[in-house]
Amino acid sequence: MAYHVGRILQLDFSIEAVAVNTKNETADNGVLRYDLRMPTISVEDLSRTITDSDLLIVNPSFSNYSFGWKLPGFKISYVQNFATYTLLDCRYDHYVAVSEFVKSFLQSVYAIDAPVIPAFINVDQIPPASDWKSRPQFKVLPYRKGLVNLWDLSFDRLREILNERGCKLTFEEPLFSGRYMPQSELFEKIGRYRYLLMLSPAEGFPLVPLEAMGMGTVMIGYDGFGGRHYMQPGINCAVAPYAQIERVAEHLISLSVSPERGLAMSLRGRETAKRYTYDAFRQRWIEELSRIVVS
């Protein structure tokens, strides 16, 4: 998302954007497509060349670099998570939260009052999905992401409960977030199933569940805390807080015998996903940057 803020600065404010590469990342990683190719510099180059007239956009995971303490320029942190750093760098000039949960976290822990600009999904790139009723009734697609040791413990306990209760549901081989897959292929895969199981314990704004909603696939699992921004349990999804795996099991069992409830959640999930567009994201950032940069 930081890339897209830089893209907005360049295309809408005519401020040249440069990407800072921290882990030998490339634009051609086979997952996402980037239409604006920015010049790339290292962290060392950033520290050597940044000036008071420059604007730095960072994710909170950059906190370990202590840029807020060391670097000149106007520094903005787009806080997209609360679990990717030990201690937030509190020396930035401005903070923006990705969700209401992250906003509350920043306020309660760091006394930082940040506006909220939710992330977006590529709604216009979501392919047509098969009719929900035509998808396998008793198969669930798990998506393995986040703290994988906790994910595995949750998954093992979930299967245990379902076996004890004689539930008919079966699980496909889990998708793994660490395995690169083109986004279009991920969408197509998720769109084959009625249910996507997400057991990621903590996320600032879970994107894959929202993309699944756009495919008409019902999200089941943990809300990841940040997912509470758009997840409405029993309405557009079937989720529980981490680590209430017993409640997740109850949701799965209930839906397995009440497919009409799942269909209703699928339809409402599609409507939810439609609200998180790039255009909405861009407009919110233009308004925010106009206040803090142009002025």
Q: Mind listing the pLDDT tens digit for each residue in 15-64? A: 999 999 877 555 554 445 667 889 999 999 999 999 999 999 999 999 99
pLDDT at 30: 46
What is the model's pLDDT at position 246?
Answer: 98
Rounded Cα distance, 64 and 267, in Å: 42
SS (H, E, C) 45-87: HHHHHCCCCCEEEECHHHHHHCHHHHCCCEEEEEECCCCCCCC
Whether the ω angle into residue 243 lies within 30 degrees of 0, i.e. cis, is yes
Q: What is the mean pLDDT of residues 196-205?
A: 96
Would you kindly state where each structural domain of the chain is located, as residue ranges? 2-120+277-294, 123-273
- Contact of 191 with 127, CB cutoff 8 Å: yes
Are the beta carbons of 18 and 25 closer than 8 angstroms? no
CATH topology of domain 123-273: Rossmann fold (3.40.50)
Condensed to tens digits (0 to 9), the pLDDT of residues 208-233 reads: 999 999 999 999 999 999 999 999 99
Q: What is the pTM of this model?
A: 0.93
Higher pLDDT, 168 or 231: 231
Phi, psi of 241 (to 5 degrees): -65, 150
Output the CA torsion 85→25→176→193 (10° steps): 110
